[in-house]
């Protein structure tokens, strides 16, 4: 049975999707193509929820999520070894914020829970070079 979202959960997902879209610069973090207005995109859980992630209060932390077109999300789920080699999937027991993510451009980043890409190895916050400033949700 699908989970029903409470109004609060729906509001939280609005903020999460906004942060993800801003971080990615409006691009799929798997293939690098634009996400809006088409094709549709999803928030892909890097740490699969089926591996115990649903009981974790941080299951929807920004470092655990990436922007993915529906087809790219399906690719991550069907090609798990390939996805894990790029950090698109995080193996059970690993901490998502410490697992490097290789973007479609080849750039290697770490994800933090404030919606930033962190540059390895020094970890100083850095927005993606192609990312425009993020508009406010209240604007």
pLDDT of the residue at 79: 93
Q: Give the mean pLDDT of 121-131.
A: 48
What is the C-alpha to C-alpha distance for residues 134 and 18, in angstroms, rounded to an integer?
A: 9
Other residues' Cβ atoms within 10 Å of the Cβ of residue 129: 9
Which residues make Cβ contacts (< 8 Å) with residue 109, sequence separation at least 6?
100, 101, 103, 117, 118, 119, 120, 128
> Higher confidence at residue 83 or residue 120?
83
Q: Which residue has the tokens 């699969």?
A: 48
Q: Give the mean pLDDT of 78-105.
A: 90
Is the pLDDT at 114 greater than 60? The verdict is: yes
pLDDT of the residue at 93: 84
pLDDT of the residue at 78: 93
* pLDDT tens column, 35-85: 876 667 889 999 887 654 466 778 888 889 999 999 999 999 999 999 999
Is the pLDDT at 1 greater than 50? The verdict is: no
pLDDT of the residue at 101: 92
Is the pLDDT at 22 greater than 70? The verdict is: yes
pLDDT of the residue at 48: 82
Is the pLDDT at 137 greater than 60? The verdict is: no
Backbone angles phi, psi at 123, to 5 degrees: 75, 20
In this prediction, residue 117 has a pLDDT band, given cuts at 50, 70 and 90, of confident
């Amino acid at each position: 049975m699908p989970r029903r979202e409470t109004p609060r959960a729906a509001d939280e997902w609005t903020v999460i999707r906004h942060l993800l879209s801003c971080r990615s610069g409006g691009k799929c973090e798997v293939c690098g193509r634009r996400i809006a207005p088409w094709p549709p995109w999803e928030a892909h859980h890097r740490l699969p929820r089926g591996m115990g992630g649903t009981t974790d209060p941080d299951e929807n932390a920004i470092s655990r999520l990436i922007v993915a077109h529906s087809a790219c999300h399906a690719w991550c789920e069907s090609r798990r070894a390939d996805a894990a080699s790029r950090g698109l999937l995080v193996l059970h027991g690993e901490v998502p914020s410490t697992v490097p993510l290789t973007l479609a451009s080849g750039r290697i980043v770490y994800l933090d829970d404030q919606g930033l890409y962190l540059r390895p190895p020094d970890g100083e916050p850095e927005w993606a070079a192609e990312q425009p400033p993020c508009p406010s949700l209240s604007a």
